[in-house]
Structure 1
């Protein structure tokens, strides 16, 4: 029982930390251009042909 008293607050704290990191990434614009990285893989650069 004492283990649960310790693990539940730790789990809730880690969940809140992950949620805060997600909202921080949203605010910094990490998820604005999801298709750009996928399209860059398909683009053949001039320098790569050498």
Structure 2
């Protein structure tokens, strides 16, 4: 019974913090546009990113495979 005197105020504090964060998210516009992100996956990116255009072409091999030893040591 004594633990309830500690746990109930702690639970009320957690609820108050959760409500404050929720209302802050609503006020700051976090829930204003829910459709854009849902539809974004349906559209293809026609142009590659800048990083993909400037990245050097590789031969298809992993660079780490060149540095591996045959298990006998150096």
TM over 0.5, yes or no?
yes
Match of 2:67 in 1: none
Q: Hey, what does 2:31 align to over in structure 1? A: 31
| Residue 19 (structure 1) shift | 0.4
Gaps of 5+ in 2: 53-74
Residues matched between the structures, number: 49
- The residue correspondences of 1:4-43 to structure 2 (distance < 5 A) are 4-43=4-43
Q: Which has the higher helix share?
A: 1
TM-score normalised by L of structure 2 = 0.61
| 1:46 match | 46
TM-score normalised to structure 1 length: 0.87
Write out the 4+ residue segments of structure 1 that deviate beyond 3 Å after TM superposition: none
Aligned-pair distance for 1:29?
0.3
Name structure 1 gaps, 5 residues minimum: none
- CA RMSD in angstroms comes to 1.4
Task: Name which one, 1 or 2, has greater alpha-carbon Rg.
Answer: 2
